[in-house]
Structures are given as C-alpha cells and as structure tokens.
Copies of this chain bind each other. A is one copy, B any other.
Amino acid sequence: MQLPSSLLENAVNEFSKLPGIGKKTALRLVLHLLKQEPGEVQQFGEAITRMRQEINFCRRCFNVSDGETCSICSNALRNQRLICVVENLRDVIAIESTQQFSGTFHVLGGIISPLDGIGPDQLNIESLVHRVAQEGTEELVFALNPNIQGDTTIYYIQKKIKHLPCKVTTIARGIAFGGELEYADELTLGRSLTNRMPIDNYI
C-alpha cells in the first residue's frame, strides 16, 4: 500500500504497531483523525504521551496511580489487611468492576513461567513477602488464571510466607455461571465435584 504523504505513512505505521491493528485498520483510523479538528487530534496525541510519561506505579501494591500511592491503598474504607494477588492491571480493573472486593491488591506484573524465561526475581514477589510480614496481613487471596503457571506462582509464594500467620486462599474455581455442564472440560467438572460446596452459599 503506497501512501501519498510521508506524514500519513508515519502515522499509519505507528498505529499498526498496536496489537490487533493491521495496515488497513490503521489507515482507517488515521483517515478518521484527518477529518477531525487539529486541536482534537493534538489532545489525543498528548493524552497518550502524558499517560506514559507521568503515570506512577503505587509503591505499595504496584497498581497504576496518579500519585505515589494508589487510590485503593490510600482508601481508609478498604481492608488493608486483606490482599488480593493478581497478575496485572487488567485483573485489578476486572475485580474492581465486580464491586465485591473490599481489600487491597498486589500486582505481580506477570506469573512464573520458566518457558517464557520469567522467574520469581522478575516479579513483585519479594515486595509481597515483605509486605505480608510488615503489615500483619490476615489473608492473601490469589486471583490468578487457573493454569499451570498460575498454580506454580501460588505454590512458590505460599512456600515463601508459610512462616507467617497469614491465611492463604484462592478465588473459587468451578463451573461458570451461565455455563453448561456438557461443554465444561473434564478437569473443571471433576474438580468442581471434589470441591463441592454447601448449597446455602449459593441461594
């Protein structure tokens, strides 16, 4: 695809670096921006640049934040002794949108995955162990994706804090609401039988 202007080509190239955006979609987006007022487009460009340059990561939980401590860690209404351990920011947002969790978070920044070359040292695990010891945390809830890497990470952290008086739990695993038994995989269905729950939890 040959473009009649190098400025246009530059913008299309930058857009097509984004995940899931190919050359054609990039061109469509750029042509849309070309129809907008220059001021609006400048606002778009600046919002992105500023976001990356000025954003902070909470020094306690590694959530993104406008200041040094994030809005969750500095909220006195939240249970500061309950920590939900998640892989990344997207999981924080997903859990926050349920409005069912009143504790704080700890963002690991990934999960242990030797095949991808990610070991415990590259993740925010040391700081989590330190935090649990310092803050007298009462419960760690692991909300990691249910797969081998997630389980490995849970196992590793659990071993690191087993000398501390902190309860360790994980989010419930089982058949999803609205799911159908016949399409559930055997592992999920099998475990949901083993870990069956009293019915009064659910009605």
A contacts, CB < 8 Å to B:
1-8, 10-11, 13-15, 17-21, 25, 27-34, 36, 38, 41-55, 63-66, 70-72, 88-90, 92-93, 96-97
A29-B18, A47-B11, A93-B27 are contacts. A52–B66 as well, Cβ < 8 Å? no
Q: In the complex, A20→B32 CA distance in Å?
A: 11
Q: Which of B8, B10, B71 contacts A4 (CB 8 A)?
A: B71
Give bound CA distance, A34 to B52, whole Å.
6
- A11 to B53 CA separation, bound complex (whole angstroms): 12
Contact B8 A19 (CB under 8 A): no
Would B70 and A27 count as touching, CB distance under 8 A? Answer: no
Chain B residues, Cβ within 8 Å of A97: 1-2
- Dominant SS at the A interface? helix
Tell me the nearest residue of chain B to A67, going by C-beta.
Answer: B5
Contact indicator B72/A52 (Cβ below 8 Å) = no
In the complex, which residues of chain B have a beta carbon less than 8 angstroms from the beta carbon of A17? 44
Whether B66 and A7, one on each chain, are in contact in the complex, defined by CB atoms closer than 8 angstroms, is yes
Say yes or no: A51 contacts B92, CB within 8 Å: no
Closest Cβ of chain B to A13, distance in Å, is 8
* Known A-B contacts A3-B93, A52-B42; A64 and B29 likewise in contact (beta carbons under 8 Å): no
Contact of A34 (CB < 8 Å), options: B15, B19, B25, B64? B64
* Chain B nearest Cβ from A97, distance in angstroms: 6
With known contacts A31-B90, A89-B31, A48–B51 Cβ distance under 8 A: no
The 8 nearest A-B residue pairs measured at CB:
A45-B49, A45-B45, A41-B52, A11-B51, A14-B47, A7-B51, A14-B44, A45-B48
- Flag if A19 contacts B32 (CB, 8 Å): yes
Is B55 within 8 A of A14, CB to CB?
A: no
A12: shortest Cβ distance to chain B, in Å?
9
A52 contacts which chain B residues (CB < 8 A)?
33-34, 36, 38, 41-42
Instruction: Give the residues in chain B near A10, CB-CB below 8 Å.
Output: 47, 50-51
